[in-house]
Amino acid sequence: MLNTETPNVLHTELDTYATADLAAALIDDQFIAVQAVRAAAPQIAAAIDAALPRIEAGGRLVYVGAGTSGRLGVLDGVELLPTFSWPNERAISLIAGGKQAMFVAVEGAEDDTEQGAIDIRELHLNQHDVVLLIAASGATPYVLGALQAARASGALTVGFANNPDAPVTRCADVGITLNTGSEIISGSTRLKAGTSQKIALNTFSSALMVKLHKVYGNLMVDVKPTNIKLLRRTVSLTMHATGKDEQTCRKVLEECDFHVKTAIVALQNNISVVTAEKLLTLYQGDVRKALEAVE
């Protein structure tokens, strides 16, 4: 029996717990998720390093999963646009059962190996693309079908599973095992297995974006201001990075369509927005190099 399916021996009377004890037990069990991801840090780092040159060459991130794993993939990909201005067409999510499965469980969809392969082939992947295959069991047929097709295309494959020596990690170019063990509610991998996947995906994509110069220091300088909150954030980020007052920062931001990187380089180097944009293009969006170029 898979670790994720094995009944938890520590909480066999869970249904009798007082509410406070029940909540505490469920929360405490989640700490194992953090430990599991921390143990997999070397493999996650290897995946980041393998993915970076492909993404720099124009590749796409493709998330594949079923059920909770699929939804977590969708979540990670969707959030890359507002956080890092990552184009939607370069963050694609496939979930067993199609888009409707994001909101309503589609029974049996995860068992369709061929559909996983079909969905991947329709993307016409190439050697620059990076496919993240997520499955708590590590043996979900839909995900394994997608894995086989992705490997045939020459794309980089990264497998995430919550059981050791799982097919999805064993057969991927980079395998990441998040060994969370049995769930406090037996087999319910929406609990700590899901939490570990969320942490691992956040870590992978965020680190990749840092490597792509979408962060300056620890500031979110490639944020896409799609709402009032984010517009305000562009101002506060620019003020923090440059030490300039709000009025000055807002004026320059308005000139560059609220692109924080451009505003920082323009203000710090006392140059025009147009010149700042050219410097950032020359240095592939690297704020530090753009600033150093004028020193």
Catalytic residue positions? 79, 110
Structure tokens that stand for 47 in this block: 């995946």
- Looking up tokens 């170019």 gives 173
CA–CA distance from 132 to each of 28, 96, 135 (Å)?
A: 28, 14, 10
Q: Rounded distance, CA 213 to CA 9, Å?
A: 46
Nearest to residue 41, comparing CAs of 171, 204, 217, 205?
Answer: 204
Phi-psi region of 108 (alpha: psi -120 to 50; beta: other; left: phi over 0): left
3 state SS for the chain: CCHHHCCCCCCCCHHHCCHHHHHHHHHHHCHHHHHHHHHCHHHHHHHHHHHHHHHHCCCCEEEEECHHHHHHHHHHHHCHHHHHCCCHHHEEEEECCCHHHHCCCCCCHHHCHHHHHHHHHCCCCCCCCEEEEEECCCCCHHHHHHHHHHHHHCCEEEEEECCCCCHHHHHCCEEEECCCCCCCCCCCCCCHHHHHHHHHHHHHHHHHHHHCCCCECCECCCCCCCCHHHHHHHHHHHHHHHCCCHHHHHHHHHHCCCCHHHHHHHHHHCCCHHHHHHHHHHCCCCHHHHHHCCC
